[in-house]
Structure 1
Amino acid sequence: MEVFYDVLKQLIRIPSVVGAEHSFFMFVKRELEEIGIKVEYYDGVLVAKGDEPQSGYMSAHADRHGLICTGHNEFQYAAFIAKNRADLTGDSNSEQMLHNFTSRFVDEKVQAYQPWSGNYLGLGVIKEAFLCQRRNNIIFKVEGFDHLFPGTPIAFVDKLEIKDNLISAQLDNVVSVAIMIYMYHIGYKGTAFFTASEEAGKSWRFLLEWFRRFNISTDELLVLDTSPYASLEDINNLDIVLRNRDSNAVFRSPLKNKIKNIAIEENIKYHFKDAYLKNKMSQTKTTGSLGTTELGRLIKATKGSIQGSTLQLPTIGYHTANETTSIRAVESMITVLKRLYVDAD
Structure 2
Amino acid sequence: MLDNDFIDLLKTIIRQPSVVGAEHSFFRVLQRELEERGAKVTWYEGLLVAQGSDPFSAMFSAHIDRHGLICTGPNEFQYAAFISANKTDLLNNSVSEELMTKVTERFKSETVYAYEPWSGVYRGNGVIKNSYVCEYRNNLIFEIEGLEDVVAGTPIAFKDKLKITEERLSGQLDNVLTAAALVHLFSQGFQGTAFFTAQEEAGKSWRYLLEWFRRFGGNTNKLFVVDTSPFPNVETANLQLLVLREKDANAHFNSSSTAMIAKLCEDNNISYIYKDKYVEDDNALRVSRGEPPHSLGSTELGRIIAASNGLVDGTTIQIPTIGYHTMQESASVKSVQAFLDLLQVLAKKTTE
Q: TM-score, length-normalised on structure 2? A: 0.95
Matches of 1:116 and 1:305, distance apart in 2: 32
What do residues 251-306 of structure 1 show as CA deviations (whole Å, max 9, x unaligned)? 11432122111111111110100001111111222433111100000000012321
Given the alignment of the two structures, is residue 96 of structure 1 paired with residue 102 of structure 2, yes or no?
no
Cα distance change on mapping 1:221 and 1:88 into 2, 3 Å? farther
Match of 1:134 in 2: 136
Residue 216 of structure 1 and its aligned partner are, at CA, apart by: 3.3
Residue 165 of structure 1 and its aligned partner are, at CA, apart by: 1.0
Residue range with higher mean Cα deviation, 246-255 or 324-333 = 246-255
Contact 2:226–2:318 (CA<8 Å) still a contact in 1?
Answer: yes
- 319, 342, 346: which one aligns with 1:340: 346
What do residues 118-139 of structure 1 show as CA deviations (whole Å, max 9, x unaligned)? 0011111000101102111111
Matches of 1:145 and 1:40, distance apart in 2: 35
What do residues 186-217 of structure 1 show as CA deviations (whole Å, max 9, x unaligned)? 01110000000000000000000111122535
Amino acid at match of 1:3: D
Given the alignment of the two structures, is residue 289 of structure 1 paired with residue 295 of structure 2, yes or no?
yes
Amino acid at match of 2:107: F
Matches of 1:235 and 1:173, distance apart in 2: 17
Residue 164 of structure 1 and its aligned partner are, at CA, apart by: 3.5
User: SS in structure 1 opposite 2:320?
Assistant: strand
Matches of 1:158 and 1:82, distance apart in 2: 22
Given the alignment of the two structures, is residue 54 of structure 1 paired with residue 56 of structure 2, yes or no?
yes
Matches of 2:213 and 2:92, distance apart in 1: 28
Q: TM-score, length-normalised on structure 1? A: 0.97
**RMSD (CA atoms):** 1.6
Residue range with higher mean Cα deviation, 215-224 or 265-274 = 215-224
What do residues 198-245 of structure 1 show as CA deviations (whole Å, max 9, x unaligned)? 000000000001111225353420000000000001012210000000
User: SS in structure 2 opposite 1:32?
Assistant: helix
Match of 2:20 in 1: 18
Residue 15 of structure 1 and its aligned partner are, at CA, apart by: 0.3
Amino acid at match of 2:299: T
Contact 1:253–1:307 (CA<8 Å) still a contact in 2?
Answer: no
Match of 1:75 in 2: 77
Matches of 2:50 and 2:62, distance apart in 1: 12
Given the alignment of the two structures, is residue 312 of structure 1 paired with residue 285 of structure 2, yes or no?
no
Contact 2:166–2:333 (CA<8 Å) still a contact in 1?
Answer: no
Residue 318 of structure 1 and its aligned partner are, at CA, apart by: 0.1
Aligned ranges for residues 1-345 of structure 1 at < 5 Å?
Answer: 1-81=3-83, 84-85=86-87, 89-285=91-287, 286-342=292-348, 345=352
Contact 1:111–1:154 (CA<8 Å) still a contact in 2?
Answer: yes
Matches of 1:130 and 1:47, distance apart in 2: 37
Matches of 1:165 and 1:287, distance apart in 2: 32
User: SS in structure 2 opposite 1:53?
Assistant: coil
Matches of 1:149 and 1:84, distance apart in 2: 19
Aligned length: 345
What do residues 311-342 of structure 1 show as CA deviations (whole Å, max 9, x unaligned)? 00000000001100001101111111111113
Residue 88 of structure 1 and its aligned partner are, at CA, apart by: 7.7
Matches of 1:229 and 1:202, distance apart in 2: 24
User: SS in structure 1 opposite 2:126?
Assistant: strand
Residue 86 of structure 1 and its aligned partner are, at CA, apart by: 10
User: SS in structure 2 opposite 1:290?
Assistant: coil
Residue range with higher mean Cα deviation, 105-114 or 74-83 = 74-83
Percentage identity across paired residues of the two chains: 51
User: SS in structure 2 opposite 1:264?
Assistant: helix
5+ residue gaps, structure 2? none
Matches of 1:173 and 1:159, distance apart in 2: 14
Contact 2:20–2:84 (CA<8 Å) still a contact in 1?
Answer: no
User: SS in structure 2 opposite 1:184?
Assistant: helix
Matches of 2:196 and 2:38, distance apart in 1: 17
Cα distance change on mapping 1:7 and 1:219 into 2, 3 Å? same
User: SS in structure 2 opposite 1:341?
Assistant: helix
